[in-house]
């Protein structure tokens, strides 16, 4: 009996210290997520204005034949940019993104397109290594706090691959697999094609009112030339910020659940320990009483 | 009537406010924008300066025009309906320039006259009111 009481107490201590760790992780994530959301809000004006400018040029240049917007005749290789996290303890965050990627990999292979993964985040890199999937580029060290320079580095690699012909190791399409931050409670894995840009003909008015009739300096073509890479970088940077906020939200939730579970478990184990202790005491008392009775019997008999 | 001006870079809004005139440099040369300017979408010259003159225009105590001056490494200028957006790849307000860092960046790359870094460093110095 004494052995089981010791074992239970040991487990309580272990569970309590796990609970302390997950609680600390939860608090760290909560404090960081506020900053991450602020960073998303700060980046919004740039993303919005850039989108509007691209819409303005694209809607004006009817005979659009820019390499970044033209549909390729045939697609043989496609780059996939995957945004995952550097550290674990984030619930289903990485699993969800990587599941979407796995689906995209299958779809591409079914179309006879060779996927070329560009992977950001240590968890994603590990996932690809474990499955022996070759990666073109890997990036890590910034998943919770991406800087503009990280987005620039990724964009340059992607655009360089996009510039080259498929035969020379280039790609015809670029996809991005990442997590969309809907709210603190909802984050959604999302697959989108980054390049060539999908141009939608719409008859409705664009967001923020009709587009003004811009004059272009020096010319629409040159403006588009410069604008598109900046736009792609902006999109990637914003996606990285969303992914960071999603990672933190997901971690906070996962760690909260883990802390709650640890607390429940501690409570249950404490009860178990109390029962064991009580049983031990009861047994000792009955042993003493039994012993005393036996002694009393012996003395009364001898009288 | 005033212009509403926004100077934004990828991760934040550098400056936003009202102004009566914006002076920038595009690939085609200097452009001055007053209210009622027709819509323009232009490429900013690499390592140039954008000046935003505030509504009072006439200037502060030292006589220099108030408002803000920003160095931009490149990017876009979009004007429509009296709203001016400067979408810079990188930009810095004149008052926030670290002059010694910009000076050493400008000197370091001076062998390479045309690099964006050198031009941007020089623009930063000019924006801070220093000789470049």
Nearest to B75 among A52, A148, A230 (CB): A230
Q: How far apart are CA B48 and CA B90, in angstroms?
A: 11
| Cross-chain Cβ contact A230/B13 below 8 Å | no
Domain that holds residue A124: 64-199+208-247
What is the per-residue pLDDT for A215? Answer: 85
| Cross-chain Cβ contact B10/A151 below 8 Å | yes
Q: How far apart are CA A183 and CA A61, in angstroms?
A: 37
Q: Is residue A169 part of a domain?
A: yes
Region A182-210: mean pLDDT is: 77
Q: Token match 């990999």: residue?
A: A105
Predicted confidence (pLDDT) per residue in A213-251, tens digit: 788 888 888 888 888 889 999 999 999 999 999 999 999
CB contact at 8 A, A43 and A241: yes
| Cross-chain Cβ contact B10/A43 below 8 Å | yes
Q: What is the DSSP letter of A209?
A: S
**CB neighbours of residue B93 within 10 Å:** 18
Which CA distances in Å does A290 have to A181, A276, A295, B23? Answer: 69, 21, 9, 102
| Cross-chain Cβ contact B78/A53 below 8 Å | yes
Tens of pLDDT along chain B (132 residues) come to 788 999 999 888 888 888 888 999 988 889 999 988 898 889 998 888 898 887 665 444 444 456 788 889 888 899 988 899 999 988 888 888 888 888 877 777 666 666 777 888 888 888 887 766
Structural domain B3-96, CATH architecture: Sandwich (2.60)
Q: Is residue A142 part of a domain?
A: yes
Q: Is residue A258 part of a domain?
A: no
CB contact at 8 A, A251 and A90: yes
Residues of chain B with C-beta less than 8 angstroms from the C-beta of A145: none
Q: Is residue A147 part of a domain?
A: yes
Nearest to A42 among B11, B26, B87 (CB): B11
What is the per-residue pLDDT for A228? Answer: 87
Q: Is residue A263 part of a domain?
A: no
Predicted confidence (pLDDT) per residue in A62-80, tens digit: 556 677 777 777 888 999 9
CATH of the domain at A140: 3.40.1380.10
Q: Is residue A223 part of a domain?
A: yes
Which of A75, A60, A102, A70 has its CA nearest to residue A206?
A60
Three-class DSSP labels, A4-46: HHHHHHHHHHHHHHHHHHHHHHHHHHHHHHHHHHHHHHHHHHH
Which CA distances in Å does B95 have to A16, B76, B105, B126? Answer: 52, 22, 18, 11
Mean pLDDT of chain A: 88
Domain count, chain A: 1
What is the per-residue pLDDT for B117? Answer: 78
Q: How far apart are CA A210 and CA A212, in angstroms?
A: 6
| Cross-chain Cβ contact A57/B38 below 8 Å | no
* Chain CA centroid to CA A41, Å: 19
What is the per-residue pLDDT for B113? Answer: 64
Q: How far apart are CA A131 and CA A261, in angstroms?
A: 32
Could you tell me the residue ranges of all domains in chain B?
Answer: 3-96
What is the per-residue pLDDT for B62? Answer: 45
Residues of chain A with C-beta less than 8 angstroms from the C-beta of B30: none
């Amino acid at each position: 009996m004494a052995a089981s009481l010791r074992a239970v107490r040991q487990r309580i201590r272990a569970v309590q210290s796990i609970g302390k760790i997950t609680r600390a992780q939860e608090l760290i994530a909560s404090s960081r997520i506020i900053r991450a959301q602020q960073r998303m809000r700060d980046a919004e004006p740039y993303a919005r204005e850039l989108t509007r400018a691209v819409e303005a040029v694209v809607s004006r240049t009817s005979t659009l034949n820019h390499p970044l917007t033209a549909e390729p005749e045939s697609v043989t290789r496609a780059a996939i940019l995957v945004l995952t996290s550097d550290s674990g303890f984030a619930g289903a965050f990485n699993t969800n993104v990587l599941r979407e990627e796995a689906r995209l990999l299958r779809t591409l292979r079914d179309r006879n397109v060779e996927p070329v993964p560009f992977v950001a985040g240590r968890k994603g890199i590990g996932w690809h290594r474990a499955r022996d999937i070759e990666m073109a580029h890997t990036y890590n060290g910034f998943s919770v706090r991406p800087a503009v320079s990280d987005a620039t580095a990724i964009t340059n690699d992607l655009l360089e691959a996009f510039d080259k012909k498929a035969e020379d190791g280039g790609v015809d399409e670029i996809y991005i697999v990442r997590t969309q931050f809907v709210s603190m409670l909802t984050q959604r894995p999302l697959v989108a094609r980054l390049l060539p840009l999908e141009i939608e003909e719409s008859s409705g008015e664009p967001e923020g009112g009709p587009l003004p009739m811009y004059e272009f300096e020096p010319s629409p073509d040159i403006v588009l030339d410069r604008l598109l890479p900046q736009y792609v970088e902006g999109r990637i940077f914003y996606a990285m910020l969303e992914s960071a906020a999603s990672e933190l939200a997901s971690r906070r939730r996962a760690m909260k659940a883990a802390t709650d579970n640890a607390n429940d478990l501690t409570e249950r184990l404490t009860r178990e320990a109390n029962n064991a202790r009580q049983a031990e005491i009861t047994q000792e008392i009955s042993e003493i009483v039994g012993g005393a009775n036996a002694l009393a019997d012996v003395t009364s008999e001898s009288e | 009537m005033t212009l509403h001006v926004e100077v934004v870079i990828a991760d934040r809004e550098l400056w936003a406010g009202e102004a009566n005139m914006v002076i920038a440099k595009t690939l085609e040369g200097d452009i001055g924008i007053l209210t009622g300017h027709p819509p323009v979408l232009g490429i900013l010259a690499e390592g140039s300066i954008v000046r935003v003159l505030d509504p009072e225009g006439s200037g502060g105590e030292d006589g220099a025009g108030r408002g803000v001056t920003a160095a931009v490494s490149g990017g876009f200028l979009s004007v429509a309906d009296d709203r001016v957006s400067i979408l810079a790849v990188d930009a810095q307000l004149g008052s926030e320039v670290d002059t010694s860092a910009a000076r050493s960046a400008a000197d370091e790359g001076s062998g390479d006259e045309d690099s964006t870094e050198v031009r941007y460093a020089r623009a930063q110095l000019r924006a801070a009111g220093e000789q470049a």
